[in-house]
Each structure stands twice: as structure tokens, then as C-alpha cells.
Amino acid sequence: MPELPEVEVVVQHLNAHILGATIETLTIHRSDIVRIGHDLIPWFPQAKVTQIQRLGKCVVMTCQRSGQNRYILSELGMTGLWFYQASLAASPQHIHCQITLSGKKIKELHYWNPRRFGRLWLFEQSELDAFMQRRFGPDALTINQKEFCQLIQATRGQLKSFLLNQHRLAGIGNIYANEILFRAKIHPDAKGHHLRQISCQRLHQAMHDALREAIAAGGSSIRDFRRPDGSQGHFQKAHQVYQKDGKPCRHGCQTLIKRLQKERSSFFCPFCQKKY
């Protein structure tokens, strides 16, 4: 479930508590959790964590040793999280990586991912650059309005599918796609190239507002999401449309929210959210 706001919250937490720490050990409990870079595992002990950033819905730790950088990229997928203590994980048997640290109050990091839709990638610089170019479009939180509107108006498919496509726009998943489209009053099945400029601009503003508000609220803890210290986010309390089918529209029209049952359910107001 972790989407851009939840991953950003994790990154902020890790920056506050482990940035500058030294990795003492990196232990992989399940070999298939590492997609690329098994041969780099022995390099990480005694490396210092010098940067932690978000790329789309991934957490990237920059580690430095002897003037060289290597990277630990974690895809959180649907259920992936980082915890400071193994006891914080709902099912400790699904902790697939453990990192012990020195130099900071936090002494351990545990990568928990019961459904394993996410993986770990251990990269050198050139490999990380190639991965970024191959996997991520512009970031949903930082893309400017002009570039966003150009992408939307060049999209001939359904708008919600565009928002979910990490190659086109990085960071958004099903929860926030629903919330953003509802705020912008645009139907999930609307075609991007049919939207007027003013609608594209409204969508861009709705996207940035929803993402920033969610980050400020600590993300959405609907199922598994927790911050590394085990605490929950609170933005689920502010959801206006996600999983609200059968409830009155929050825009005030009193139409009941409907659910479109597809591969990923869409929640929308038939009256307020137009296709064009």
C-alpha cells in the first residue's frame, strides 16, 4: 500500500534517526528478496549512510566507504516497511533483511515485506542511474504544472491509468489516484487528451495538495502502513472518496459515491466527476 506520501514519511523518519550511522552488518534472510547486487552484500559493512531519499515509491540509501558510493534501494510494494525493531513487525518471520548500525541511537533496521511485491536492489552508481531512467517518470510531488499538463494532454488512455503508471508519473497508487481525481472533479475514465487546459491545471493543484496534506498527516494507515517506529499515519481520516462507496459526495451534491470494480477499484461521484 505505501504510496508517495507514505514513502516520503518513511524517508523523513530515517533521515531524522539513522542518517550518518555506520552499517555494521547487512544480513539477508531470504535470498530472492535481493533482485540485483548479491555480490555487493560484503561491501556494505563499515559503510556510512550519507543520504536517504525517495525515488517514486522507493527508498534509496546512499552508503559511502573509502570514497566510494553504493546504494540500497528498497521497493516497498504493497506491504514493505522498514522498522527499527523486529518486534514492531506484525509477522517477524517476514523480515527479510536486517541492518545493524552504530553511531546513532537507533541500532537496527528491519525490512519487512510479507507479500514480497517489493524487493531490495544493491547498486553501484551507473546501475542506479540506469534503473531510474528505466523505471521512473517525473515525480508527482515535484513536477511543475507546465510539464504535467503537457503529459496529460498527450495521454490518449484513461486518466487514472496514467496516474498509476510509474513510467509516466512516479509515486501515485490507487488510494491517491482516487483522492486526486475526486478533488479535481474529473472522472477516472476521462481521457487525458480530451481535458481542457484549466482542467489539467486543476488536476495538478489537486495532486500536489493531496500529496502534501498526506505527508503532513504522516501518510495513510489503512492496512499495514506504519512509520519505522511503529506509529500510524492519520491521513486515512481525511479521505474523501477512497472506499466511501454508498456515502454522500463530500462536494455537497448529495449524490452517493459509486465504485467501479476493475483490476483496481475506482471510487467517484457520478455527478461531480465528469469525463470531459
Angstrom distance (rounded) from CA 41 to CA 38: 6
Q: What is the pLDDT along the chain (276 residues), one digit of tens a residue?
A: 799 999 999 999 999 999 999 999 999 999 999 999 999 999 999 999 999 999 999 999 999 999 999 999 999 887 899 999 999 998 999 999 999 999 999 999 999 998 777 899 999 988 998 888 888 999 999 999 999 999 999 999 999 999 999 999 999 999 999 999 999 999 999 999 999 999 999 999 999 999 999 999 999 998 889 999 999 999 999 999 999 999 999 999 989 999 998 768 999 999 999 886
Catalytic residue list contains 226: no
Is 57 known to be catalytic?
yes
At residue 105, φ and ψ (nearest 5 deg) are -65, -40
Residues 106 and 165 in one domain: no
For residue 171, what are the domain limits? 145-268
Residue 104 is a catalytic residue = no
187 and 247 part of one domain: yes
Is residue 233 a contact partner of residue 219, using CB atoms and an 8 Å limit?
A: yes
Residue of 2, 5, 188, 228 marked active site: 2
- Rounded to an integer, what distance in angstroms lies between the CA atom of residue 122 and that of residue 39? 9
Domain final residue pick, 105, 135, 165? 135
Distance CA 164, CA 139 (A): 12
The model's pTM is 0.94
Same domain, yes or no: 131 and 153: no
- Note whether residue 275 is domain-resident: no
Within-domain flag for 274: no
Say whether both 149 and 129 belong to one domain.
Answer: no
Residue 79, judged by CB atoms within 10 A of its CB (0-12, 13-18, 19+), counts as buried
- The active-site residue, picked from 5, 8, 57, 228, is 57
Please say if 65 is a catalytic residue. Answer: no
